[in-house]
Structure 1
Amino acid sequence: MIFSRKSGSGRHAKDDTRVSGTRSLEEELGLVDDEPEEPVAPKASRPEGPYDVTEAPAGIPQLDLGALKVPAVDDVEVRVQADNEGKIQQIVLVHNDSALQLGVFAAPRSEGIWGEVRAEIRKQLFTDGVAAEEADGEWGVELRARVRTPDGLTDIRFVGIDGPRWLVRAVFQGPAAVDPDVAPPLLECLRSLVVDRGHEAMPVREPLPLHLPKEVAEASADGSTSEVPLTAAAGGANGAGEADGPERRKPSPRPRRK
């Protein structure tokens, strides 16, 4: 795992994908997402993830990053950007020339929000002069576009998965954005991803809390360490201690953040 520090308040950057819908005054003000009094019952088991923590199959080696449990998959490098308190602001998985950026957000109990989030992403891309089109994918309707980065034009693909009171937003970049079969290890990561939403009430679209494993946070608390291999996080990973750290690769361009 590559870990880089970033100074700041420790909160995730605010998600720009906000639109107004038919909501109560409390929801419009971002005060609550739903009643938190009872744990959410698990949905019927799905053949593939992302999984809610209540329905995740056992035995998946994972890197525990708080609200997200990232599976340990061969040939996938986990790059994490965090602040000085160990609170994660960005997770990017890299395989060869493809990348997968992961984000997880609070959602209401009653309905999914990927449809409206996707519409706003498309609107923002259009405002930026980028044409985007919708396409059917493994997880339903997704959004595909080509954006300009410092390294040139790059293909990106936005995938959204609604779960019980959460939304996973996955952004593929590079060859995997055009042909998912180019980077099957990244697909394996997304299919085996586990979300631990917790039971606390949170504003809709608020990023769920992500943090470095305790051992990694302590090892880099003095600020002297900017990169930590995956094996150093073994104590914070469920069953990942036997995995070898991936080789260093030239960083791929980061997905454009919206």
Structure 2
Amino acid sequence: MGLFGFGRKKHQNEDKADEAAKDEAAKDESLNAEHTEDAAPEPETPTTPTDTYEGRGETYGPWDVNDENAPDYDDYLDLGSYYLPFLQGIELRIKANRSTQQVLGSTITYGSSSLEIEAFAAPKTMGLWDDVRADLLEANKNATEQPGVFGTELALPVTLKGGKTLNTRIVAVDGPRWMLRGIFSGKAASDPDSPETQALNKFFADIVVERGEEPLAPRDLIPMHPPVTPAERKAAASQSEEETEGKEHLKDIPGKPTGPFDSDQQTEVKTTLSRGPMFSEVR
């Protein structure tokens, strides 16, 4: 009897231990599920060549600042019309008008490949890439259309000085009132399986575009400015908060001046390009 009773108690204890273990496991699964729901999904990168690019703004980028699923671009480099993501080992070149110093675009170099990026204003009701692509085909007899990971793209060999030929791959994606164009060269233009191609495809897909509300004609470049790093943006935001803290009531003062108090005052605006581990500027 004693042995029987001990055995039953032992089984009862084992049953209780099993139930406790199941409860703990259920709690762990619940917590993991909550953390999974809270964590932002990693943006996907298109990999299958296609004639049409679907899912932009929902599954794939490039993204608009107002897209619900856009990645967090707080740590991106701000160029005004778009924000560039981080990619270890790249170099950044800024394209600017020599006479006005107006920023016109940027070029990313990664390994033996490069990616030139420009953002254009587009109509409200229709995309721009189909018309631009048709114009490029008409102007360049050597250009050919082909399916790509961002939809229909152009393969365009460019003859350089000395007779050397540079193969380029021109892609573009239409967003809300904008078109983002990328010109790939090097391995990224000729070898779809190259790690450089895959890295720059992902880089282009992770860009976040800010069209702004300024009236622009279709095909106009969206205004840009020199690069502003995440640290500079945070410092500027912090300074702005400090300057306005405790002064919120002043904005409601009737007749408050909106311009300078003295017509002889001058304001000097300085823009600093700082070097960091993310990018290096090449002039």
Range class of TM-score, shorter chain = 0.5 to 0.7
Question: Relative to structure 1, is the Cα distance of residues 59 and 205 closer, same or farther in structure 2, using a 3 angstrom cutoff?
Answer: closer
Match of 2:143 in 1: 132
Instruction: List aligned pairs for 1:51-200, cutoff 5 A.
Output: 51-55=63-67, 56-58=70-72, 61-83=75-97, 87-126=102-141, 131-150=142-161, 152-182=164-194, 183=196, 184-200=198-214
| 1:138 Cα deviation after fit | 0.9
The structure whose residues are more often strand, as a share, is: 1
- Structure 1 residue 180: Cα displacement: 3.3
Q: What RMSD in Å do the two structures reach over aligned CA positions?
A: 2.8
For 1:171 and 1:44, the matched residues in 2 are separated by: 19
CA distance in 2, matches of 1:69, 1:117: 23
User: Structure 2 stretches of 5 or more lacking a match?
Assistant: 1-54, 233-268
Q: Deviations over 1:45-88 (max 9, x none)?
A: 42221100111222563110001111121122111123476531
SS in 1 for 2:137: helix
Aligned residues: 185
- Extract structure 1 runs of 4+ deviating beyond 6 A: none
Give 1:194 shift: 0.7
Determine which structure has more spread, i.e. the larger CA radius of gyration. Answer: 2
State the Cα distance separating 1:139 from its structure 2 match.
1.1
Are the aligned partners of 2:91 and 2:108 in contact in 1 as well (CA < 8 Å)? yes
Q: Mark the runs of 5 or more structure 1 residues left unpaired by the alignment.
A: 1-42, 221-227, 232-242, 252-258
- 1:202 matched residue in structure 2: 216
- In the superposition, the TM-score normalised over structure 2's length comes to 0.59
CA displacement at 1:104 relative to structure 2: 0.7
Q: Supply the distance in 1 between the matched residues of 2:217 and 2:281 (Cα, whole angstroms).
A: 39
With normalisation by structure 1, the TM-score equals 0.64
Identity %: 31
Q: What SS is found at the alignment partner of 1:170?
A: strand
Choose between structure 1 and 2: higher helix proportion. Answer: 2
Alignment check: 8 A CA contact 2:73 2:208 kept: no
The residue aligned with 2:21 is none
Quick check: 1:48 aligned with 2:60?
Answer: yes
Deviations 1:96-146 (A, max 9, x none): 1111111110101101010110010111112xxxx1211111111001021
Aligned residues of 2:90 and 2:279 also touching (Cα < 8 A):
no
